């Protein structure tokens, strides 16, 4: 299909299905009407008009061949009774405007052609001024013969009935097909909606496969995939709970043993190392475990942002907050709080001026975190989201943690169906852009 025609096509499956049904239907109806109009209607109209014109010509010829007035009256009466032609002779009359062209519609054209062929005298035609009759005036040597006859003799209404029946039946069949296609498309929309909700981490327990066999197959595959992912997350959480217990036990024992030793520089160093190990283990476990057990609930994001900003201000960080619109959206409150806190911590660690903005769009919420720090090189802005990646190659935990803050932040946002990007900030540093679906 030419690229220029693609923007004209419907985008939805229902629209395209209806288009596929309607286009052949319209073409078939157009061809049928054209063939009917060109062949049947014109042929029938031509034969009817030729028959009437022949009767008019025969009546005029019989009238002129009869010199007797009484016989002429009988001829006109016979034409009225047997042929349905109401004729009246007007002696001395003239036709003001003889027919010189073919008129307008098919009736006029065919009747004019037939009168010219069968009557062969100057005439005038009035086909539409009277609701039921067609009037013809024929010029004779000594006057005008005025003849009228029923329009139905040259104009058949069955043509319109047939066209109306074709159009009406097409509309009826189109309506039935539209209802049927809508019922077929509904299960696909339900599957798409369930997939979108599941991708946002929301509950889709009420989804049941329905529709045609192919759609049911896709829906059943989605259900199997959903259960496999749930089992995987549950098994991972249970495994990490055991690992957490196994790792914390020796660390706790080491801390107790170090507490029993006398204070000395070497013991103080070991205590610091154990504390760092405990913090790193907690960070690793938090990254792998995530917040999968928390369910999305309607949450006031503006309130969460205000609490985070208040906490940063208590720590002496100048954070400015601007919110616009209704920010109540389905979220995992603890997870999203943790994600934004990590981004704010990164901004306050490197910048002296911080701005936090949140606004609601039609189908999403946008959050911007700007700072005036040194920023991140454009070539490393995707790398910083990788687990354990740090711009500081020294791996010193006092200068930036273990490299999981941005990774956890993006994982949480993506679990909500959104994403995070890093950009240049108008303040001169780094901008973190968050987009969350509504």
Q: In the predicted model, is pLDDT for residue 435 greater than 80?
A: yes
- pLDDT of 380 > 60? The answer is yes
Residues making up the chain, counted from first to last = 438
DSSP 8-state secondary structure symbol assigned to residue 40 = I
Give tens-digit pLDDT for 323-350: 988 888 888 888 888 889 889 988 888 8
* pLDDT above 80: residue 189: yes
The CA R_g of the chain, rounded to the nearest whole Å, is 45
pLDDT beyond 90 at 171: no
Mean pLDDT lowest among 141-150, 153-162, 359-368: 153-162
- Count Cα atoms within 13 angstroms, Cβ side, for 28: 10
Model pTM score: 0.51
Pick from 309, 262, 50, 22: nearest CA to 154: 50
Report the pLDDT value the prediction gives residue 375, as an integer from 0 to 100. Answer: 87
Give dist(CA 366, CA 355) in Å, integer.
14
The separation between CA 199 and the C-alpha centre of its own chain, rounded to angstroms, equals: 21
> Where are the strands (E) in 296-373, listed by range?
297-300, 319-324, 328-331, 354-360, 364-371
| Mean pLDDT of all residues belonging to the chain | 81
DSSP-derived 3-state class of residue 130: coil
From 154-163, 203-212, 266-275, 351-360, the region with the lowest mean pLDDT: 154-163
When pLDDT is cut at 50, 70 and 90, the band that residue 368 belongs to is: very high
pLDDT band at 371 (very low <50, low <70, confident <90, very high): very high
Residues 106, 206: Cα–Cα separation, whole Å? 63
Please determine, for residue 395, whether its predicted confidence score (pLDDT) is greater than 50: no
pLDDT at 240: 67
Predicted pLDDT of residue 100: 54
Looking at residue 157, its pLDDT comes to 63
Tokens of 348: 């306050």
**170-190 average pLDDT score:** 83
Rounded CA-CA distance 196/198 in Å is 5
Domains defined for the chain, CATH in brackets: 10-156 (3.30.450.300), 290-437 (3.30.565.10)
Q: Is the predicted pLDDT of residue 352 greater than 70, yes or no?
A: yes
**Strand-strand pairing, 297-300 and 143-150:** unpaired
Q: Which residue has the higher pLDDT, 49 or 173?
A: 49
Looking at residue 325, what DSSP letter applies?
A: S
The DSSP line for 353-382 is -EEEEEEE-SSEEEEEEEE-S----GGGTT
- In the prediction, which pLDDT does 244 show? 67
What does the pLDDT read at residue 172? 84
């Amino acid at each position: 299909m030419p690229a220029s025609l693609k923007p004209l096509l419907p985008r939805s499956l229902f629209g395209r299905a209806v288009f596929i049904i309607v286009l052949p239907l319209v073409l078939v109806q157009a061809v049928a009407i054209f063939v009917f109009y060109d062949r049947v209607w014109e042929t029938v109209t031509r034969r009817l008009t030729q028959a009437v014109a022949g009767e008019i010509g025969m009546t005029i010829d019989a009238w002129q061949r009869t010199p007797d007035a009484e016989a002429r009256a009988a001829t006109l009466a016979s034409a009225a009774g047997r042929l349905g032609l109401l004729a009246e002779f007007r002696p001395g009359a003239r036709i003001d405007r003889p027919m010189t062209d073919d008129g307008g519609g098919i009736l006029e054209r065919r009747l004019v052609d037939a009168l010219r062929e069968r009557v062969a005298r100057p005439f005038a035609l009035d086909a539409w001024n009277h609701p039921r009759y067609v009037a013809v005036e024929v010029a004779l040597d000594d006057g005008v013969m005025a003849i009228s006859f029923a329009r139905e003799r040259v104009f058949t209404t069955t043509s319109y009935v047939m066209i109306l029946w074709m159009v009406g039946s097409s509309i009826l069949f189109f309506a039935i097909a539209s209802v049927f296609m809508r019922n077929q498309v509904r299960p696909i929309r339900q599957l798409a909606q369930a997939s979108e909700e599941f991708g946002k981490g929301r509950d889709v327990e009420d989804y049941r496969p329905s529709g045609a066999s192919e759609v049911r197959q896709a829906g059943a595959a989605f259900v199997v995939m959903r259960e496999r992912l749930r089992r995987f997350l549950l098994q991972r959480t249970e495994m990490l709970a055991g690992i957490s217990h196994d790792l914390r036990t020796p660390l706790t024992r080491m801390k107790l043993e170090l507490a029993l030793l006398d204070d000395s520089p070497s013991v103080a160093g070991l205590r610091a190392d154990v504390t760092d190990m405990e913090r790193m283990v907690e960070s690793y476990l938090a990254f792998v475990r995530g917040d999968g057990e928390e369910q999305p609930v309607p949450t006031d994001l503006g309130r969460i942002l205000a609490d985070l900003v208040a906490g940063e201000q208590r720590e002496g960080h100048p954070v400015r907050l601007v919110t616009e619109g209704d920010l109540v959206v389905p979220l995992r409150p603890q997870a999203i709080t943790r994600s934004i806190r990590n981004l704010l911590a990164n901004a306050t660690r490197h910048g002296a001026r911080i701005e936090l903005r949140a606004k609601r769009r039609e189908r999403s919420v946008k959050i911007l975190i700007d700072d005036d720090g040194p920023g991140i090189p454009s070539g490393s802005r995707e790398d910083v989201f990788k687990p354990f990646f740090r711009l500081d190659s020294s791996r010193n935990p006092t200068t930036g943690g273990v490299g999981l803050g941005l990774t956890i932040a993006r994982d949480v946002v993506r679990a909500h169906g959104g994403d995070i990007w890093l950009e240049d900030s108008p303040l001169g540093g780094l901008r973190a852009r968050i987009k969350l679906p509504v």
